[in-house]
Structure 1
Amino acid sequence: MKILKKNQISGLRKDLSIYIHIPFCEKICPYCDFNKYSKVDQLIPDFTQSLIKEIRWNSEEFNNSKIVSISLGGGTPSYINNEDLKSVFDSIKNNYYLDDKFEFSIEINPADLDDSKLELYEEIGINRVSVGGQSFDNKILKRLGRNHDSEKLIKSLELLSSSYIDNINLDLIFGVPSQTLIQWEHSLKMFLNFSFPHLSAYLLTFEPKTKFYKDLNQKRIFEPEENEIIDMFNLTLEILNNNDYYQYEISNWAKKGRESIHNLRYWNSENYLGFGPGSSSLINGKRMKNISSLKKYIQLSKNKVSPDGLYSEISTISEEEKMIEYIMLNLRLNKGIEHNDFNQKFNKIFIFKFKEILKELNNNFLVESNSESTFLTNKGKLLSDYIFSKFTEEISL
């Protein structure tokens, strides 16, 4: 991987997305491996000022770009106070050109939502909200370490339903230890009651460095049986398909025309800037990654006058890496890999280059191929990590 200097990255004159990482949480969930911090509220004011500096520092190079989507993630963006959030948005508004129809999304915790936050969201132009509900069952919520119960989740969703926002996503998790099919069905049907246009249904993964991973290895908890996961996934397909939602990505379902613009741009490897500790940017085939340490991020921001000092890495993406990312990201999408697009991008014939892998995966009913594309089957969507590894091994030979 070739390492580049910042001045070797040319400025943009086209659509751009922005991701802002706000790493604060009231408590750390046992399954989460994102860059996050709890019980450090005293650092929020300094973090906010550091974030504003980083946003401003990048504006000279990118202020002629058109911002088509902004996503506030974390962590828990709804955890910080209204004044800090408004000052972050003002720094973007004052330094970048925002498209008239840009998607502005925020992830929220049900425990944080109230009328004052909704008033602020409307004031600054947030037009999409993603709610980290995870379940409508109190036993599952407790097992996931959430700081809300089902009653609070329902109240927050009712508050959103009566607000100005009509583009609402709900996050739900299945495959939780001891979760039953009946509990999962209840959560799906509760989601339908609200008629939201989007659902993210995530299969729980046991990520290294999380409490769940440690508990799993020490046999304090156990993964659900494979047949239980399959039953939950098939139930999801049945219920959502019967209610006019379509699966456009492995974990994401939407009504037609209500897909997440920001997420689609990410999965299609479009240009985006990341702000905040641990965030990444992708600019014209080059990747910059910020340092992850919150305290170091704040300290360096106080001493530097450009974003260079915040990067832990600036690198160009090799052809092999581009191909791996292209395959992984496109197979996540329902449309899969479009053969002509792959052939043009990499000057290789997809079905010839991966002939043996495709034969194996087709024989095991993990992918389907036609003259135009290759895409995951429903069975393949549950084994996507294995499928990705097969392509990665072949490309890396």
Structure 2
Amino acid sequence: MRLISARWVIPITGPPITEGAVIIDEQGGTIVALGTRADMRRAYTSLTETRAEGALCPALVNAHAHLELSAVPAPIAGGDGVVNWTRRLISSLAAQQDAAGLSASAESAESASAAYAASAVAAVESARSFGTVAIADVGNGTTGWVALGRANMEGVFFHELVGSREARTGDALLDAAQERASVPMRDQPRGVVAVPAPHAPYSVGPDLMKRIFEAAARAGHPTTIHLAEDNDEILLLRDGLGAWPAVLRALGVDPADRTPRLSPTAYLERLGAFAGGPPPLLVHMVHTDADDRRRVRTAGSTVVLCARSNVHIGGRLPDVPAFIADGIRLAVGTDSLASVPNLSLWQELSTLASHFPDVSPRTWLHAAT
């Protein structure tokens, strides 16, 4: 065991301890005790003390990442909303695929695939260097799931489904399960549960979304969804307006299928998202009102804040003080390297603190751990 002391120990579950110390069982990887430095030295006289600079606190949990997008060369230009940013992201990914497709040999194609997988592993290692010990990864494919295992990172994998997969395969849930099963056993991470997840209300039809919520409830795990990220989403859901109807028509989808004439949270409530199992993690929640917050609080859902991504893509943050005042549980995610320069949760907290200076630092640390 080791005794590590610091000027501050921040246990999160209690108030900060001035001149504190923790006792660590290195073999079991657990914290055995914590308290003041003086108390720990008296109780564990045989241990040699290691002095840490700064403060000691629990490691961080990234509640929303997209590891499969780690090969994007740099954050995609933003500032004009989710629809336009998504178009640019799709163009960037298509250009990467075209470049890989120009390879004349199977060996070159295999090398490109290996580099793509390696970028996800490198992203996990980068997150670890920023103090992250668990990641909730969201991916259309299994790249991030495999990367978590290869990098020995704890977490959960949300296998993200969209309506086009349902249209192509006839059963997106079954197709995703078969995709995971096709991963060689040596690459399937132990201890990283895989849960189906709907991408967003505009990209997933109501029938598939309802089935995903039911599948997650049967498994006893929360799922996750991007929700109320952009005003165009609100316009589509409530009135069939905004930028999304034209996008959906171009994809052969009737916008009326995605227009329940409800708010995002009321729509999820109708589809059973808040009944029958652990409530979903709601990512972004930038455009909400008091009724949305009431439903979230009643359901016990957690709102995942991705501050830097929100600022970059849409130039707006959610009403975090209102979430706090209403007693809504918060978590923090980085989103992907397609919208932020790195996977540092500390920089996420810095962004939140700068925009909401009246919120206690303890609140931010609690959300990130």
- Normalised TM-score (structure 2): 0.43
- Normalised TM-score (structure 1): 0.41
